[in-house]
Amino acid sequence: MDIVIAGGHGKIALRLARLLAARGDTVRSLIRNPGHDADVRDAGAEPVLCDLERAETGEVAGHLDGADAVVFAAGAGPGSGAARKDTVDRGAAVLTADAAERAGVRGLLQISAMGAGDPAALGRDEVWDAYIRAKGEAEDDLRRRDALDWLILRPGRLTDDPPTGRVTLAEPPIGYGAVTRDDVAAVIAALLAAGDVRHRTLDLLNGDTPTADAVGALRPSGA
């Protein structure tokens, strides 16, 4: 497969690139900082310079040409304010979906977050509310796109612990908890390989089910 990862220098994105490259997929990773080239290449992906906060749809569509699927893994990241939650976590996600449609790439997996779209809560951090709102609006936009075989993946609290190979993966709600970034990457790789899990919003935590079985249970054949 030919996979493009938008936000290719993120912690999950680099792990995913390594998994995809190791199984023989072609990986192109969109990054905005040329200083990240070496990290992306070390992960087995081809770096493509593209600032998703400033790019136009046509530019991004050109970078997606010939891809089988796109993974939206970009995020404003820790330390960013409410404004960038909107421009990256919502705006860049919408731009990527627009570009996928223009390029004729049907497969798009969007990494979101548990609780995306939940209403603001009294006493909750303003930046966190902006993040949850932006993720929810990006999800809503994607669900309206009949031209895409979209998937929305909502990991729980992310950790850098070693991978477990066991997850809980199902439509929300499944409760709250943690999941390793390695396990998130493994689930994404398995969903991309399956190719027939579409139009689903999925929560993801570490759990008791082997990754292959968790993804297999979502497939139309139950394979």
Which pLDDT value is given to residue 80?
A: 79
Q: Is residue 221 part of a domain?
A: no
What total number of domains does the chain contain? Answer: 1
DSSP annotation of 45 reads: -
82: confidence class by pLDDT, cuts 50, 70, 90:
confident
Q: List, for residues 32-45, the tens digit of each pLDDT value.
A: 999 999 999 999 99
Task: Specify the range with the lowest mean pLDDT, choosing from 127-141, 178-192, 203-217.
Answer: 127-141
| Token pair of 171 as six digits | 């439509």
State the pairing for strand pair 200-206/166-170. antiparallel
Q: Is residue 186 part of a domain?
A: yes
Amino acid at 210: P
Q: Is residue 38 part of a domain?
A: yes
Q: Which residues contact 122 (CB under 8 A, 6 or more apart)?
A: none
Q: Is residue 64 part of a domain?
A: yes
Q: Which residues contact 45 (CB under 8 A, 6 or more apart)?
A: 5, 8, 17, 20, 21, 27, 28, 29
Q: Is residue 153 part of a domain?
A: yes
Q: Is residue 222 part of a domain?
A: no
Task: Give the Cα separation of 87 and 165 in Å (integer).
Answer: 34
Statement: residue 182 has pLDDT above 90: yes
Q: Is residue 223 part of a domain?
A: no
Q: List, for residues 3-54, the tens digit of each pLDDT value.
A: 999 999 999 999 999 999 999 999 999 999 999 999 999 999 999 999 999 9
Q: Which residues contact 91 (CB under 8 A, 6 or more apart)?
A: 52, 53
Secondary-structure breakdown of the chain: helix, strand, coil percentages, each rounded to the nearest 5: 40, 25, 35
Q: Please say whether the beta carbons of 167 and 204 come within 8 A.
A: yes
Question: What CATH number is attached to the domain comprising 190?
Answer: 3.40.50.720
Q: Is residue 82 part of a domain?
A: yes
Largest CA distance in the chain: 48
Name residue, tokens 């979101």. Answer: 112
3-state secondary structure of 60: helix
User: How many percent of the chain have pLDDT more than 90?
Assistant: 87
Residue 136: give the domain boundaries: 2-216
